[in-house]
Amino acid sequence: MGNVTVIGAQWGDEGKGKIVDWLSSQADIVVRFQGGNNAGHTIVVRKKKIALSLIPSGIVRKNTISIIANGVVVNPKALLDEIKELKKSGIKVTPKNLILSENICLILSVHKEVDKIREKLKGENKIGTTGRGIGPAYEDKIGRRSIRLSDLRNKNKLNDKIKIVVDHHNIILKGLESKEISYKKIINEIEEVKSSIMKFSQRTNPIFEKAIFERKKILFEGAQGVMLDIDHGTYPYVTSSNTVAGAASIGSGLSVKKLGFILGIVKSYMTRVGSGPFPSELNNMIGKKLGEIGREFGTVTGRKRRCGWFDAVLTKYALSVSGADGIALTKLDVLDTFKEIKICVAYKLFGKKIDYFPISEYEQENVKPIYETFKGWNKSTKGARTWSELPALAVKYVRRLEELISNRVVILSTSPEREDTILVENPFID
């Protein structure tokens, strides 16, 4: 099978954008299968940075089709704004190279309003949501009251569904002593974007079937990271969707047998945005240095990321629940100037050593890292494109990571530039 499924194997921000962009040069179709415009990634093309939140990275490729599949929740205005920004960068977005599954669920202004109010009321116990309405939109989907793209075709059916959504959320807003949303506001909101967004809507199942029959290469692009998965992550400090590899099947309508090579993106150290447990976090000058060198600020929100040493226990768990066949290791060059580098190889929990990542929220908050210490290589790895260009101590660090996470490096990234990539094995194997 010549397909590849890409997932983040930490808390997101692993550098998926560059890897997906690099892989998309070989793909015929790139599919985004979960999340919303709360996720973002930056790709660098001709030394120009392009930030994407909803549209798959394949959009920058001339002969590649990008599909936003049914597992994604879409804010129509955010999508149209992103299309405008791409146009400014000289990238044409048309119904020929961008397709929206007709069964995607929409994010409306009421979802954003509820999201922000609820997060504010949590105070110190806030989750760290981006306030973009992703959670409430997924709640409506599970509650079977979502407005889907296909609903926009029939005015009477659409109006009935808008009333259901507005009535439901106004009960919540009233209970929170907040201003209620008017039915007319939502109708106008949808009418403003309806014609612009509907031209991208298609049945995606026949497209996938044809692609499989013709042996086309499909790249499935995940957002965020496994440790933010609603079932398998650091619950409740997680996103509202499943981010593991299996979600690519549910979020696209393709069989799990068609997901192909499962590639976990892994950063050479750890970062996290927002609240939640972070065993190897460094609240010191080392953590600050990691953040400064790695430019660790959120693509979508601009929020500063928390930084720490590589956590092999947590990463091994994330790769295991996704069934990863190999990893792409990113940002190795960020570690170039450290005299000493550490890897978390186990935890101490209430005085007892454990070698697994606990599921209990209470235990996650109380684990303490046990480290192995490595001598830093103090040489530049930036721009290396072969193993022989890497310092011996850098290679030793990578090999130890492979042992600890029980997985192999198939791609090694040494800078944000597309070309600065060491290819050990091509995930696109026929």
pLDDT tens-digit readout, 73-106: 999 999 999 999 888 888 899 999 999 999 999 9
Other beta carbons within 10 angstroms of residue 105's beta carbon come to 23
Answer whether the bond into residue 236 is a cis peptide, omega within 30°.
Answer: yes
Q: With CA atoms as reference, report the closest residue to 77 among 204, 231, 237, 194.
A: 194
Token digits of residue 421: 């990539």
Q: With CA atoms as reference, report the closest residue to 52 among 20, 23, 29, 25.
A: 20
Token digits of residue 109: 């202004």
pLDDT above 80 (res 177): yes
Strand locations in 197-330 (E):
201-202, 218-221, 261-267, 270-272, 306-308, 310-311, 326-330
Q: How many angstroms separate the Cα of 315 from the Cα of each of 13, 328, 394, 407? A: 14, 13, 19, 10
Token digits of residue 29: 């179709």
Average pLDDT rounded to a whole number, residues 269-275: 93
Residue 248 backbone phi and psi in degrees, to 5 = -65, -35
pLDDT above 90 (res 58): no
Q: With CA atoms as reference, report the closest residue to 323 among 378, 369, 370, 256.
A: 256
d(CA 118, CA 111) in angstroms, rounded, equals: 11
Residue 5 backbone phi and psi in degrees, to 5 = -115, 125
Max CA pair span of the chain: 68
- Beta-bridge partners for 352: 349
Share of the chain above pLDDT 90, in %: 77
Residue 222: per-residue pLDDT: 92
Determine which one of 21, 28, 41, 420 is catalytic. 41
Q: What is the CA radius of gyration of the chain?
A: 22
pLDDT band at 313 (very low <50, low <70, confident <90, very high): very high
Instruction: Give 328's contacts (C-beta < 8 A, 6+ positions apart).
Output: 15, 19, 263, 264, 265, 266, 409, 410, 411, 412, 413
- Residues 196 and 222 sit within 8 Å (Cβ to Cβ): no
d(CA 72, CA 99) in angstroms, rounded, equals: 13
Q: How many angstroms separate the Cα of 94 from the Cα of each of 12, 67, 167, 211, 320? A: 29, 12, 36, 19, 38
Residue 7: per-residue pLDDT: 97
- Beta-bridge partners for 33: none
pLDDT above 70 (res 125): no
Higher per-residue pLDDT: 119 or 3: 3
- Residues 58 and 30 sit within 8 Å (Cβ to Cβ): yes
pLDDT band at 43 (very low <50, low <70, confident <90, very high): low
Determine which one of 13, 311, 325, 333 is catalytic. 13
d(CA 9, CA 404) in angstroms, rounded, equals: 14
Please calculate the CA angle 71-72-75 and round it to the nearest 5 degrees.
150
d(CA 152, CA 233) in angstroms, rounded, equals: 34
pLDDT, the chain, mean: 92
Strand locations in 201-285 (E):
201-202, 218-221, 261-267, 270-272
SS3 content of the chain, % helix, strand, coil (to 5): 35, 20, 40
Residue 97, judged by CB atoms within 10 A of its CB (0-12, 13-18, 19+), counts as buried
Average pLDDT rounded to a whole number, residues 184-188: 94
Share of the chain above pLDDT 70, in %: 95
Instruction: Clarify whether 115 is annotated catalytic.
Output: no
Instruction: Clarify whether 13 is annotated catalytic.
Output: yes
pLDDT tens digits along 380-429: 999 999 999 999 999 999 999 999 999 999 999 998 887 889 999 999 97
pLDDT band at 1 (very low <50, low <70, confident <90, very high): low
pLDDT tens digits along 225-257: 999 999 999 999 999 999 999 999 999 999 999
Average pLDDT rounded to a whole number, residues 209-219: 95
Token digits of residue 57: 């990275």
Quick one: which H or E segment has residue 100? strand 98-101
pLDDT band at 131 (very low <50, low <70, confident <90, very high): confident
Looking only at the bridges linking them, the beta strands covering 48-52 and 41-45 are: antiparallel
